[in-house]
Amino acid sequence: MDTPAALGDFLRTRRARLRPEDVGLVSYGTRRRVPGLRREELAQLAGVSVAYYTRLEQGQSTGASDGVLDAIARALRLSPDEHAHLRNLARPARAGRRPAPRAEAARPSTRRLIEAMDGVPALVLTARFDVLAWNPLGHALVAGHLAADGPERPADRPNTQRLLFLDPHTRELYPDWEGEARRAVSSLRLAAGEYPDDRRLAELIGELTMKSGEFAALWSRHPVRKCAFGVKSFHHPLVGPLELTFEMTPLRDSAGQCLLMYGAEPGSPSEAALRLLATGVASPTTTTTTRTSAPR
């Protein structure tokens, strides 16, 4: 992962989204060669020299203090997630102390936990969004067209981000595909900042950039947002529309793994549809699943 280049891209995109008048600077109407703030304007707001900020944006300074990074974050009006991402990118040696994820299996206790979740779709994901395990309802919700034992076979292990951009069945699953795509890229950006030495994560990002113009366009905007909870809309091929809440909970001491769970509002049509899907999972003869491999 080219962390210095990523740092420069991130800072430039954040400068570009601010106008001088947004931050209290006077613009005299002269033609501006670049969108947003100039380097010297941002340096002035952050209280650092133009030369120093230029070196930082060019990836030539890796020892920025907390005070300097905090000042730049304030000047750029970064969100807390963006602020944390800035620190990871500006200090690649520090971020690199988090080793690339190596655990390639969900703990047996975690597997038992998701199997015991009656009526709750659940998945265990790696930091790079590979699916290590899912319960039957989780499989039926997000990838019923794939083989249920795919997570057990590394060569066919599904990746939720790869599916979203490269698998037509998954694209049809999300009525607001564009919103889901932005959420996915934002999450991958955070992961790339946290695990700059993860070769497989870099390969995934490279693959998506080459194979999906939509991914490449979103990636170039450098979106950053931790998507740990919220609401997702589905149009499931078996039970129709669903609006489900989701929660992503980190699993301690598990190399960045997390537990993704979905739920429906009690008494809602989505709850009835999710119950119907669960009934189909319990009685597989009532549904048809195409056993295929995830796109590689």
What is the per-residue pLDDT across 96-110, written as a single tens digit (0 to 9) for each? 445 555 658 899 999
pLDDT at 253: 78
Q: Which domains are assigned to the chain?
A: 3-95 (1.10.260.40), 108-286 (3.30.450.180)
Q: What is the pTM of this model?
A: 0.83
- φ/ψ of 279, rounded to 5, equals -65, -40
3-class DSSP assignment, residue 116? coil
Range scoring the smallest mean pLDDT among 21-35, 71-85, 187-201 = 21-35
Provide the Cα torsion 88, 201, 289, 287; round to 10°. Answer: -10
Q: Among 22-26, 68-72, 270-274, 292-296, where is mean pLDDT lowest?
A: 292-296
For residue range 53-64, list pLDDT tens digits in order: 998 888 777 678
236: Cα separation from own chain's centroid = 22
Backbone phi and psi for residue 106, each to the nearest 5 degrees, phi listed first? -75, 145
Given strand 229-236, what is the order of strands in its sheet? 131-134, 122-125, 258-263, 240-250, 229-236
* Other residues' Cβ atoms within 10 Å of the Cβ of residue 261: 19
Share of the chain above pLDDT 70, in %: 87
Q: Which residue has the higher pLDDT, 124 or 286?
A: 124
Q: Which pLDDT does position 289 carry in this prediction?
A: 44
Q: Nearest 5°: CA angle at 206, between 154 and 261? A: 50
The answer to whether residue 294 scores a pLDDT higher than 60 is: no
The pLDDT confidence band at residue 2, using thresholds 50, 70 and 90, is: low
CB 84 within 8 A of CB 55: no
Q: Over the stretch 162-180, which tens digit does the pLDDT of each residue have?
A: 999 999 999 999 999 999 9
Q: Out of 97-111, 120-134, 139-153, which region has the weakest mean confidence (pLDDT)?
A: 97-111
Confidence of residue 285 (pLDDT cuts 50, 70, 90): low
- What is the pLDDT, as a whole number, of residue 125? 96
Residue 42 pLDDT > 50: yes
pLDDT above 50: residue 286: no
Residue 226 has pLDDT above 70, yes or no: yes
Q: Indicate the DSSP class of residue 288.
A: -
User: Given the structure tokens 């695990």, which residue do they identify?
Assistant: 195
- Check whether 293 has a pLDDT greater than 70: no
How far apart CA 88 and CA 269 sit, in angstroms, is 43
- pLDDT interval class at 147 (50, 70, 90): very high
Please tell me the total number of residues recorded for the chain in this structure: 296
